[in-house]
A and B are shown apart, each in its own frame.
Chain A
Amino acid sequence: MSKAQAPAPERVRRVSPLRGLITRPEFGAIVGTTAVFLIFSAIAGGSGFLSVLGAANFLEVAAQVGIIGSAVSLLMIAGEFDLSVGSMVGAAGMIVALGIAQFGLPPVAAVALAFVFALFVGWLNGTVVVRTGLPSFIVTLGSLFILRGATIGLTRFVTGRTQVGGLDEFTRSDPFSQLFTAFVGIPQGTATAQFKVAIVWWIGLALLATFILLRTPFGNWIFGAGGSAVAARNVGVPVARVKVLLFMATAASAALLACIQVLSVGSGDVLRGGQKEFEAIITAVIGGTILTGGYGSAIGTTLGALTLGMTQMGIIFAGIPADWYQFVLGGLLLAAVFVNDWVRRRASETRR
């Protein structure tokens, strides 16, 4: 090939290791998680935040939001939102609770039913979004209310109440339920710190999401679908299929969280999972995923979930009224958005 060229502009860019780090999507999350940890260690370290009990507490909160967060962040990187995951937690949880307590299904069957239902709703959400081209924000805002309304209405129609309890007697001796309810107890004086199996699910799903995103062709398609759906389609990426599958994944992650909550507590409540859709988006954004798609990290989302867990429990350990949790979370979200915006500019800045 001809290398004889007019004097070319500088082709080789030197990038310092520090610059390499700060242009990673996770950079903001690493800083944020460290800062939140240090702050609560300082103000609540003496009152239990740093204890084994404290860790068990904030890891459980982190695990619950992180399970949904992993799937939600992949979907956001693909350029779509799913606001219906919170309602799906309530709906899938009620299928499990009613299935076991009302209809006498074995837990494994009730759980399978909940997952089938979730995958179907996820498929429906995704198909409506890719077929109509409407913003997923609006479509899934609709399904958020439809799911919640149907859950409340049908549960009251079947049972006359909005809560279904008494699952313990069916699940206590059921080995399958242990998948969602097991824990490792570490005695701490009079109390016992319970490290729940939810933490394993959380870390496992985070690793799976990271692997898919960074190592597989499907992960490349996720980035492409969110970065520019038209450009990705032009080179043969099945954008619609990628998006539909991710909507199914977010719904399934909500069903998993529902199984963990309902089987651990032993009761279903139609209002379970309220605001989880927003918390999941917040963990993704704190983790460096941008709202317009094409950029983000599942590792970052895991750190975002940890930040959220530490904040929620740290406030309690610090003796601050829990009412202030949402205030702090909102502040964290805004700070994360500012940092991410800055990072993205650095990552994509064009040399002129």
Chain B
Amino acid sequence: MTLDGPPLIEARGVSKYFGKVIAIEEISLQVRPGEVVCLLGDNGAGKSTLIKILSGVFPADSGSVLLEGEAVHFASPRDAIARGIATVYQDLAMIPLMSISRNFFLGSEPRRQIGPISIIDFAYADRITRQKLDQMGIHLRDTTQSVGTLSGGERQSVAIARAEYFGAKVLILDEPTSALGVKEAAVVLRHIVQARARGLGVILITHNVNHAYPVGDRFLILDRGRSVGTFSKAELRPDQLLSLMGGGEELSRLSHELESYARAVDAGAVPIEPPVQVGEDVAGGA
């Protein structure tokens, strides 16, 4: 992990308001090469607003965004992509009805000239798509099959592979694991670790501590638009992270209630684990 030099991307005291509503206020975030920063918070905490500012969807109302130490204003998502900020959205990573290789190169099609006409170089597109997916452990018979035939985890993996292929330095992942089963989520989390090992900066948005803790180096916790704080992994245990997010007390109270309920009805027949231990399972598996 390299921690010297300016951060790849930095938000300095950014705020965004939608009318009277404070979406986020005075939020700061730094991501260095080879670092995974997890953005945590409940629904409505402002996670999406922050990443939309970082990925060029809309500008901040105040504060600044710095790219490798220099202030930038992204004109559009396309502008952000061109400067190496790639964002993979949960539901919008891929287009299900299109083939895998068409998806992979959508918007950046490799071209081949036939006289004055420029056409897609499908041989190249198929070869690269297959190669990149092989590297991720997804072995395809046919890159022309539709993305709809891939599982949710595979779609996220393809989107990550695509972002890296097109030169992303910062990878912003919006809830990449929230719709996935445990095994699938573990596969995506492994890709995040691999991306970190290759020197990318990763911003992982999630509300699942069990997914964030195993891969994260630092954790920025948001609560109703404001920063609760940034913590390094050494400073926190998963259960502390959960209680900082504001869900810890509710969940532990709930699990106590359920435990005593289960004991009262039929002791041992309905085992209920405290939620924190589930996270350690994933950590061990990934």
Contacts and interface: CB of A to CB of B under 8 A. Distances in A.
Interface of A: 1-3, 5-6, 8-9, 11-15, 215-217, 219-221, 223-224, 227-228, 230-237, 294-295, 344, 347-352
B96 A217 contact: no
Given A217-B118, A224-B98, A349-B149, A235 B81 contact: yes
Given A14-B141, A351-B150, A217 B111 contact: yes
B97 A295 contact: yes
Nearest to B153: A9
A15 B136 CA distance: 23
Interface in B170-195: 183, 186-187, 190, 194
B62 interface: no
B183 A223 contact: no
Interface string B209-230: 0000000000000000000000
Contacts of B148: 347-350
23 contacts: A1-B194, A3-B137, A9-B151, A9-B183, A11-B139, A12-B141, A13-B141, A15-B141, A215-B120, A216-B117, A216-B120, A217-B120, A220-B120, A223-B95, A223-B102, A224-B95, A227-B96, A227-B97, A231-B95, A234-B87, A236-B107, A294-B97, A350-B151
Contacts of B117: 216
Contact of A234 (B89, B138, B141, B186): B89
Nearest to A294: B97
Given A227-B95, A231-B93, A347-B148, A220 B137 contact: no
Interface in B67-119: 77-78, 81, 87, 89, 92-98, 102, 105-109, 111, 117-119
B107 A235 contact: yes
Contacts of B194: 1-2
Interface residues of B, number: 44
B140 interface: yes
Contacts of B28: none
A348 B146 contact: yes
A13 B149 CA distance: 9
Contacts of A351: 149-151
A6 B186 contact: yes
Contact of A216 (B98, B119, B136): B119
Main secondary structure of the interface of A (DSSP, over half): loop
B255 interface: no
B145 interface: yes
A68 to B, nearest CB: 24
Interface string B122-137: 0000000000000111
Nearest to A214: B120
Given A11-B140, A236-B77, A349-B148, A220 B105 contact: yes
Nearest to A3: B137
Nearest to A5: B137
5 closest cross-chain pairs (CB), A and B? A348-B148, A227-B95, A236-B107, A235-B107, A217-B109
A27 B151 CA distance: 26
Nearest to A350: B148
A15 B106 CA distance: 25
Contacts of A235: 81, 106-108, 162
Contacts of B108: 235-236
A13 B145 contact: yes
A6 B183 CA distance: 9
Contacts of A234: 77, 87, 89, 92
A11 B139 CA distance: 6
Nearest to A235: B107
Nearest to B109: A217
A75 B81 CA distance: 27
Nearest to A345: B148
A264 B118 CA distance: 36
B142 interface: yes
Nearest to A233: B77
Nearest to A23: B146
A237 B108 CA distance: 8
B95 A8 contact: no
Nearest to A234: B77
Given A347-B148, A351-B149, 19 more contacts: A1-B194, A5-B187, A6-B186, A11-B138, A12-B141, A221-B106, A221-B107, A223-B98, A224-B107, A231-B94, A232-B106, A234-B77, A234-B92, A235-B106, A236-B78, A236-B81, A294-B95, A344-B97, A351-B150
Contacts of A217: 109, 111, 118-120
Contacts of B107: 221, 224, 232, 235-237
